Amino acid sequence: MNTELLGVIAQIVLLLVLSYPLGKHIAKVYKDGSDWMRFMAPVEKFMYKICGINPEEEMNWKVFLKSLLVINIFWFFWGMILLVLQGYLPLNPDGNAGQTPDQAFNTCISFMVNCNLQHYSGESGLTYFTQLFVIMLFQFITAATGMAAMAGVMKAMAAKTTQTIGNFWKYLVISCTRILFPMSLIVGLILILQGVPMGFDGKMKVATLEGAEQLVSQGPTAAIVPIKQLGTNGGGYFGVNSSHPLENPTYLTNMLECWSILIIPMAMIFALGFYLKRKKLAYSIFGVMLFAYLAGVCLNVYQEMNGNPKISEMTIDQRCGSMEGKETRIGAAATALWSVTTTVTSNGSVNGMHDSLTPLSGMVAMLNMQINTWFGGVGVGFLNYYTFLIIAVFISGLMVGRTPEFLGKKIEAREMKIATIVALAHPFVILFFTALSSYIYAHHPGIVEAEGGWLNNPGYHGFSEMLYEYTSSSANNGSGFEGLGDNTWFWNFTCGLALIISRYLPIIGQVAIAGLLAQKKFIPESAGTLKTDTGTFAVMTFCVIVIVAALSFFPALSLGPIAEYFSL
Amino acid sequence: MIKNLLKSFKLTLAFCAFFGVFYVFVLWIFAFVFSPNKGNAEVVELNGKVIGAANIGQAFTQDIYFWGRPSRAGDGYDATSSAGSNKGPSNEEYLAEVKVRIDTFLLYHPYLKRDQVPAEMVTASASGLDPDISPKAAFVQAKRVADARGLPEEKVMALITENTEAPLLGLFGMAKVNVLKLNVSLDKAISRN
């Protein structure tokens, strides 16, 4: 069998096999701290002590959310100040300048919300100091924020009736010390052995074989890449992310990095099952997500290995697949796999240029982010699915004439209102901003000219570039059709807005629903209860997601990738 | 609010110490001891002189060398500004550029038929720094390089085979040839004669 396909299959098998034990570990971490990483307890205690945190303090959902939002606001100022002043700070051997305020605004927001959309290029837009103390730091702590929210929701779901959902600060700290830290360390060590640089020297100067001079950017890459992948962050050390041969030098590193994207989001679903002692529910959710993921993988791998039809018409040898914007050591199949993996999660790192994907692969990438519920970001991924679970429970409750209940709690008007707002905000943000930018592009060419013309490709594909950018922002993904000239005032600002709305509105809504449900009286299961862990209900949820999320985008997708596909 | 802000500030500093200093320090020491080049990019040497980073492609234009893939990084293989073309598959301007690349490739390799031109040699890589080509893309260039160097073609072919890296464990991914290493071994073969 083709070794490229074998590589794809091996990666998926490794994910499935290892996500189960990791899920068990995560459940133990949040439930009672009886996991094997408990030797970190003294470090955690020391942190609580110097920060004045009482880890035993139980919070209700409002206090929990307040703590979450306050530390996020603090991180915003931390990041802004360091990014603008980076030119004057240490660890800057290449003498890179500070970011402009609008660029720093976009960078800061985008890393704060765990999106990692990058309107700069890592080699020249950051220093080693900001790479470590803004970018890498945010990649750890914002991933931990999402996981802490998930931990709170799990606690709320597990309890029969409760006012409190745990301690935000504690969840934040143990997510870092017991899950993200050990995993990043292991991945980092392997990457170093494979040749990913980890040093503080500036650019390396070499005289090439043909006698020219070549400068090679390097730096502490191996510290950032592991958490970039594991925390579903995706912000690359270098401009071209994991397609850069120093960020991803071998097929082995490619497998490891691709595995790292999806392992925690997958494990989170199992963790939910262990935590709630409802494994069947976890399996049915996992099944729906896996089905959607594999369908995307099959389509993209087929499309990319098949090549660009327009180049096939030139009658050259395209058996290697569509290689524009791909790397030889990675190949078409592994790039296609990554393009789906990075968009079903909110990761957004790339190992090839998505702008050059064939139209249908580009569409799958967009659709994954538009639906935004398959696996998703660490922690927040399940929360998005949770929104649709609530809606599905309500709709099926009405269909079969039973009171809508989920895990022994009645779903009522208030929860439904929140869930509906959260579910509809995402398409609204994406389509509103895409419409706005398209309108400006068509009717005010002066503004577009002044900003350098925006688009890198004409026609349908140009529209896709804009649609992709807002989709990626709103899904907190961070990948891009990078041909878009996006480091301008308009894009920095509008994407920044999309990022904020789409990170905090859902997280607030979902924690609120969980908190509200937790306070309600527990109703024991009876013959009249709608079963939520069956195959039928899983199919029902899938349908609700497809109808609400996917169909909202169908008209926009027809104007972009679908039209382009038929034009080839 | 103020109390939470103070906690946020202290906790952020604590995370800075834990990740920015401790975690980075562990990796840095490990890299210094165990990595190929003390934590810097791995290099390739010829006659005791560093002539490039092993994983970073270089621009090759002369007939006596194997060529790598088209690059959109800066003016070509600029390792301080990695970049792909970001051209969409239906972009007419881009397709015209590919046609020109095919014609140029055939001009320098007149012994090839059109359907022997590997697509990877006329499409730009993602990073613009792709150090590798497929063995097939190396074999089609062998005759040009052999003629330019006055070497027998079999010898050049043998060097390609010698420099071909098999898929991971022979099972996963594709075989590839590092262009820089191949060219270095060519230069070594010449100096041995």
pLDDT, one tens digit per residue, over B85-104 is: 888 888 888 999 999 999 99
Residue A448 lies in a domain: yes
- A254 vs B contacts (CB less than 8 Å): 173
Tell me which residues of chain A, numbers 492 to 531, contact chain B at a CB-CB cutoff of 8 Å. none
Checking if the pLDDT of B67 tops 70, the result is yes
Q: Which tokens belong to A430?
A: 């994406």
Question: B193 — contact with chain A (CB < 8 Å)?
Answer: no
Q: Name the residue in chain A with its Cα closest to that of B81.
A: A123
Q: Which tokens belong to A503?
A: 């990170």
What local confidence, expressed as pLDDT, does residue B50 receive?
85
Q: Do A324 and B85 touch (CB under 8 A)?
A: yes
Question: At A195, is the secondary structure helix, strand, or coil?
Answer: coil
| pTM, to two decimals | 0.91
What local confidence, expressed as pLDDT, does residue A216 receive?
85
What local confidence, expressed as pLDDT, does residue A226 receive?
93
The 3-state secondary structure of A398-456 reads HHHCCCCEECCEECCHHHHHHHHHHHHHHHHHHHHHHHHHHHHHHHCHHHHHHCCCCCC
Domain with A505, as residue range(s), is 380-567
What local confidence, expressed as pLDDT, does residue B38 receive?
82
**DSSP string for residues in A105-134:** HHHHHHHHTT----SS-HHHH--HHHIIII
- A568 vs B contacts (CB less than 8 Å): 89-90
Is B50 within 8 Å of B112 (Cβ atoms)? no
Tell me which residues of chain A, numbers 101 to 140, contact chain B at a CB-CB cutoff of 8 Å. 121, 123-124, 132-133, 136-137, 140
Low-confidence ranges of chain A (pLDDT < 50): none
Backbone angles phi, psi at B43, to 5 degrees: -115, 165
What local confidence, expressed as pLDDT, does residue A38 receive?
84
Q: Name the residue in chain B with its Cα closest to that of A139.
A: B19
What local confidence, expressed as pLDDT, does residue B23 receive?
92
Is B112 within 8 Å of B58 (Cβ atoms)? no
Task: Give which of A320, A118, A339 is closest to A237, Cα–Cα.
Answer: A118
Q: How big is the A-B interface in CB pairs under 8 Å?
A: 370
Question: A359 — contact with chain B (CB < 8 Å)?
Answer: yes
Cα–chain-centroid distance for residue A237? Answer: 16
Tell me which residues of chain A, numbers 59 to 78, contact chain B at a CB-CB cutoff of 8 Å. 66-67, 70-71, 74-75, 78
Is B50 within 8 Å of B166 (Cβ atoms)? no
Q: Which of B8, B128, B133 sits opposite A71 (nearest CB)?
A: B8
Residue A548 lies in a domain: yes
Is B174 within 8 Å of A4 (Cβ atoms)? yes
Q: Do A210 and B65 touch (CB under 8 A)?
A: yes
Checking if the pLDDT of B193 tops 60, the result is no
- What are the pLDDT digits (tens) for B130-153? 999 999 999 999 999 988 888 888
Q: Which tokens belong to A407?
A: 């895990």
- Structurally, how many domains does chain A consist of? 1
What local confidence, expressed as pLDDT, does residue A184 receive?
94
What local confidence, expressed as pLDDT, does residue A1 receive?
60
ipTM at complex level:
0.91
The alpha carbon of residue B154 is apart from the nearest alpha carbon of chain A, in Å, by: 23
Is B131 within 8 Å of B184 (Cβ atoms)? no
B192: pLDDT confidence band, cut at 50, 70 and 90?
A: low
- What are the pLDDT digits (tens) for B158-188? 999 999 988 888 888 889 999 999 999 988 8
Is A511 within 8 Å of A64 (Cβ atoms)? yes
Residue A436 lies in a domain: yes
**DSSP string for residues in chain B:** -HHHHHHHHHHHHHHIIIIIIIIHHHHHHHHHHHSTTTTSPPEEEETTEEEEETTS-----STTS-------STTTT-TTS-------TT-HHHHHHHHHHHHHHHHH-TTS-GGGSBGGGGS--SSS---EE-HHHHHTTHHHHHHHHT--HHHHHHHHHHHEEPPBTTTBS--EEEHHHHHHHHHHHHHH-
What local confidence, expressed as pLDDT, does residue A176 receive?
92
Residue A459 lies in a domain: yes
B interface test, pick of A324, A454, A469, A567 with most B CB neighbours within 10 Å? A324
Q: What is the domain partition of chain B in residue ranges?
A: 59-192
Question: At A244, is the secondary structure helix, strand, or coil?
Answer: coil
